[in-house]
Amino acid sequence: MNINKSQLQAIRHNEGPMLVLAGPGSGKTLVITRRTMNLIEEYGVNPSNILVITFTKAAAGEMKERFHKLTNGMAKGVNFGTFHAVFFTILKYAYNFNGSNIIREDQRYQIFREIIQKLELDIDDEKDVISNMMSEISLVKGERMDVKHYHSINFSHDDFPKIYSYYQEALRRANLIDFDDMLLMCYELLTQRPDILQVWQQRYKYILIDEFQDINQVQYDIIKMLALPENNLFIVGDDDQSIYRFRGAKPEIMLNFNKDYPESLMVKLDINYRSTKKIVSAAANVIKNNKNRFPKNIRTENEEGNEPDIRAFEELKDQNEEVVSKILKYYKAGTPYSQMAVLFRTNTQPRSLVSKLMEFNIPFYMKDNIPDIYEHWISKNILSYIGLARGSRDRALFLQIINRPNRYISRSILRKPTVSIGDLRDAYIDKEWMLDRIYKLEYDLGMLSKMSPFAAINYIRKGIGYDDFLKEYAKEKRISEEELFDLLEELHEGSRDYKTFEDWFNYIKEYRKDLRDQSQKQKDITRDSLTMATMHSSKGLEYKVVFIVDANEGIVPHHKSVLEEDLEEERRLFYVAMTRAKEHLHIYSVKKRYNKEFDPSRFIGEIFIDLDMLKPGVNIRHKTYGDGRIVSNDGKRLVIYFNNLKKERILDIKFCTQNRMITILD
């Protein structure tokens, strides 16, 4: 294999710190494995003194295998492992820990379930709540933060410290540690015991780290200690691909590496061996709009290739039909399904596309959980209303909806396995205002029983007041009402084609059976399958054909991304998705999604329009207001001072991708 000049410089590096900026498809694994081999063969380093760290067990295994193939197994003894594996090894020697001291996932879930019960938290989606608990606790530990000074995103000021305290106490009682504790305990051990630190410093004299942009603060603090005194620290990564801030990753660590190590050398691996020129150029146009990054000039010697296929569709179903049509076309032309991927911002987006893929028998592999819309608590609420309207009097159905919206009916009234409206009336016989509510419920169920599924859901939302309940729910829980309504709109829209409840329920039953079958098929790793993945989980992968779907404002960048640092992370995420494509890149947006108007993502415009041209101080002419000067530009809106008006106006930037024009609209 030909090795370029920059790769060779990195491979031949001997002692002292070095930062290797490795752009997408630039051969970073080759550089790490060959530099490791070079240390042994050229500089006589003992293999057991070399530590190669990756972020996942799979990546560590792959790196180790590549290295052994390169050296024909002659250089055994090099240590390959994840941060957690390396740090646990240190703890194992110090405290006689073994695998049984690490908490299992099912044990963690059980602790959090007990916490939910203990605090009597009112929740609807247990899995989602527990995931948020894990994520926030990990963030606090990774930053070595005092929980008293942490402001929770998902829980109240009173609840989160209790959640954290109960969880830590449960771990202590069971003599267990989690992955974050491994880092904290290792940090504390090495800071308090210089004798133990010295042992590991002598063992790991050369440290190489892959995907360095994903490192968090406590990991970095430990690595800095281990690397002393020689600081033979060889870090490889790409600040433009740092996309795990929500897990505690800090791209600033990489950006400030040369401040921590002023003597460090920097090498840029700026040749992309993966993608065509058109794809590399388009991705570069997007990422250069981030301000906090190392400047780069990524290039490729690959062929020119096709322009990215960028299209806006009227509705979601049109986008889904086009994706399926294109996939089948590529497949018939000889591209295996395994060389194609559909990428999306969140794992709730592709539910309707999954249904379309199953309809056309296109085999697919879902890197994240296959979403079942009918399992969501909102769907269960709607289906419970319909079940009661069709005559069921099951207690579980009543419990789902009785106070959605709030009718002030006590759950303690619903004691029997079946509940009759008559029982409810009897329980509140002396409260006329409550009887009115119960009569209204009875009337509503009677009305629903005569409707089609689509009309029934509309009545539940508007006539019964479920939409108002959702707004109040979102406000109370401090969550996005937009995400709740997106799911409700999708459920509503999905019922449109069914005349009767029976037809719709048969479809739901068949859909869920297909999902279960698909889950079973995913276990067959030999099957030629299309990849369906979130942008986050696509990192490190590559495909001949990539579809980025739902490239709309509010989706990517996500509507929660308001701060500049959040927008920069969203732009990095979009960049990662674009650079997965080798030959064909399709970026699709929709004009309308479940009856709501959507703009194309600002990142689409950045592919063609150089936003640096629209910077403060630039003179501009508007067809209505005449000459003006740009005061500020946040990528979506311009503040312009117009001479004739003698005042500023705020104008929206709209990107037209068909003729690659930029227009400024009121």
State yes or no: pLDDT of 609 exceeds 90: no
With CA atoms as reference, report the closest residue to 589 among 323, 275, 355. Answer: 323
- Partnered with residue 649 across adjacent β-strands are 640
- What's the pLDDT at 242? 94
- What's the pLDDT at 611? 59
* Alpha carbon distance 643, 440 (integer Å): 61
- Partnered with residue 647 across adjacent β-strands are 642
Does the CA dihedral 521-527-529-531 come out positive or negative? positive
Q: Which residues contact 7 (CB under 8 A, 6 or more apart)?
A: 27, 30, 31, 34, 269
Mean pLDDT calculated for residue range 634-662:
67
Mean pLDDT calculated for residue range 203-214:
96
Q: If you average pLDDT over each of 248-252, 403-407, 630-634, which comes out highest?
A: 403-407
DSSP string, 483-505: HHHHHHHHHHHHTTT-SSHHHHH
- What's the pLDDT at 613? 66
Mean pLDDT calculated for residue range 245-274:
93
- What's the pLDDT at 659? 38
CA 630 to chain centre: 35
pLDDT tens-digit readout, 352-365: 899 899 899 999 98
- What's the pLDDT at 664? 44
pLDDT tens-digit readout, 165-189: 999 999 999 989 998 999 999 999 9
CB-CB contact of 607 with 286 (8 Å): yes
- What's the pLDDT at 327? 98
CB atoms within 10 A of CB 580: 27
Beta-strand ranges (E) seen in 55-136 are: 79-82
With CA atoms as reference, report the closest residue to 421 among 442, 402, 443, 437. Answer: 442
CB-CB contact of 28 with 22 (8 Å): yes
Q: Which of 366-375, 451-460, 534-543, 583-592 has the lowest mean pLDDT?
A: 366-375
Beta-strand ranges (E) seen in 252-350 are: 265-269, 309-315, 340-344
- What's the pLDDT at 662? 45
With CA atoms as reference, report the closest residue to 84 among 230, 165, 169, 185. Answer: 185
CB-CB contact of 87 with 181 (8 Å): no
- What's the pLDDT at 654? 55
pLDDT band at 1 (very low <50, low <70, confident <90, very high): low
* Alpha carbon distance 625, 603 (integer Å): 27
Mean pLDDT calculated for residue range 212-220:
93
Structure tokens at 601: 């993502």
SS (H, E, C) 595-626: CEECCECHHHHHHHCCHHHHCCCCEEEECCCE
- What's the pLDDT at 617? 83
State yes or no: pLDDT of 498 exceeds 60: yes
Phi, then psi, of 472 in degrees rounded to 5: -65, -40
pLDDT tens-digit readout, 421-441: 888 888 888 888 889 999 999
pLDDT band at 656 (very low <50, low <70, confident <90, very high): very low
Structure tokens at 426: 């009897």
Exposed/middle/buried for 55, CB within 10 Å: 0-12, 13-18, 19+?
A: buried
Exposed/middle/buried for 424, CB within 10 Å: 0-12, 13-18, 19+?
A: buried
- What's the pLDDT at 567? 93
